[in-house]
Structure 1
């Protein structure tokens, strides 16, 4: 056991916030603080920190002040659109990532999530290794910027399905671990999305426990949520809940991720952030979910036994 905690802080995301409505932030963040959040994961695509690849200085500074007044520590999820393997506008995507790092510096955010790269299936088949090499070069340059700003970059595992029109190599946590090992930059690590991995394991046929364990030594940012490992999509998200399909972003232990067997195998880096990516339809459960995230942190930090708050809820 090191002197540093494995999990340092937990906090909810802002994915369901109305775009651009910074006037709503004080009330939202006060509620987060009241239910036990120490951090908040700011969602870039809701807050427009980057415009056309450039930093929106006024927005970053204004949000930074609001978060500080709320007494929370910010982290940032950079825009989903940033794709360091983009075949048509790689320089723009790298500029947007660099501007996002600059936003972190203005916000006082010490961790930033980036999605791992994706490619059209035909281009992946023809140029996959070369495109991954280009992503490594870009991650190293961004890592240099991140180091100067004191921001830990966290590359996230995505969702993969056989025959999909776009291929996310990072849907396989082992492939993402191999990519990060080759990047070999002290400011570039991983964001582990437990739910993405669970869906991808069932769709692609890899061993979830072993794959997540292989990625875990690179991890210093978590996305905590749950699902049932069943691929699928419905125009009505309520139907997805009824059938237990897709990327539900449900409370931990409400789905079928094997938390009790999985967590003891994790070898996260010290001071990993325990981010909670909760679907807005479950906000009534937010206090329970935050308490569960604290329990997961205590389990990893001190070996405290886990409790399943939904053990008798679904019958």
Structure 2
């Protein structure tokens, strides 16, 4: 198993410190940032494309040009870093006529890059104070999205738990269903069972069954930790995930 950490480009000093303890770095491809510090890190990379918190929505036809620019930047950064994967969020519906699930399908079909992996995200989330729905949050709908676009899958433990809570389902059962989609990458953090939100806690915080999740993983799994960026805490997270 390879265990990495998620880094935003403003965390330069921290990235250089935690790199000595991780197997790889997953970096957020935020446009307008300086990524030159990554040349000092002698590790493999994974790239995460911008998402809803940064104004990107693949389901919004009015933002098509912006989506293309954003994902294009992520692809260029992945080329530069020789990244093995590019993680994307599939977009959300906010009740406006421009946002439709079909727009996500169309957009992800047009981008021909086998490194792109679609991450499962929350059933509902707020953007700019507006509650929005993510249309492909369940295993069944993710399977449909993958089949229609030809893209691979990134399984996020915390998102699966939050989605199962929102739908009143058992989260371990949902994880098992997601595992049948043969994820090519994984995200993990701590959380609270039954809470319909992504909490990004350390692995020892909350009450998610991290051991059961770890036992589900293939031996060659690549797992990104999305836990708080404090050195001692993330070193402990890495040790827990290694088992």
Residue 286 of structure 1: aligned partner? 234
Q: Rate the CA distance shift 1:113–1:254 in 2: closer, same or farther, 3 A.
A: same
Alignment of 1:260 onto 2:215: no
Residue 50 of structure 2: aligned partner? 79
Alignment of 1:43 onto 2:28: yes
Q: Rate the CA distance shift 1:212–1:94 in 2: closer, same or farther, 3 A.
A: farther
More displaced, 257-266 or 77-86? Answer: 257-266
Alignment of 1:179 onto 2:154: no
Which structure would you say has the larger Rg? 1
Which ranges of structure 2 fall in alignment gaps of 5 or more residues?
none
Q: 2:136 aligns with which of 162, 167, 170?
A: 170
Per-residue CA shift, 1:205-229, capped at 9, x if unaligned? Answer: 2332232222223411211101103
Contact 1:197 1:212 in 2 (8 A): yes
Cα distance between partner residues in 2 of 1:211 and 1:116: 19
Which ranges of structure 1 fall in alignment gaps of 5 or more residues?
1-6, 19-23, 50-58, 233-245, 296-315
Partner secondary structure for residue 250 of structure 1? coil
Instruction: Report the TM-score, using the length of structure 2 for normalisation.
Output: 0.83
Instruction: Let me know the Cα RMSD of the aligned residues.
Output: 2.8
Instruction: Report the TM-score, using the length of structure 1 for normalisation.
Output: 0.65
Count of matched residue pairs: 236
Per-residue CA shift, 1:105-153, capped at 9, x if unaligned? Answer: 0122121111122011465xxx98xx333322321222x1x24xxxx11
Cα distance between partner residues in 2 of 1:262 and 1:286: 18
Hey, which of these two has a bigger chunk of helix by percent?
A: 1
Q: Rate the CA distance shift 1:90–1:206 in 2: closer, same or farther, 3 A.
A: farther
Residue 102 of structure 1: aligned partner? 76
Cα distance between partner residues in 1 of 2:121 and 2:182: 16
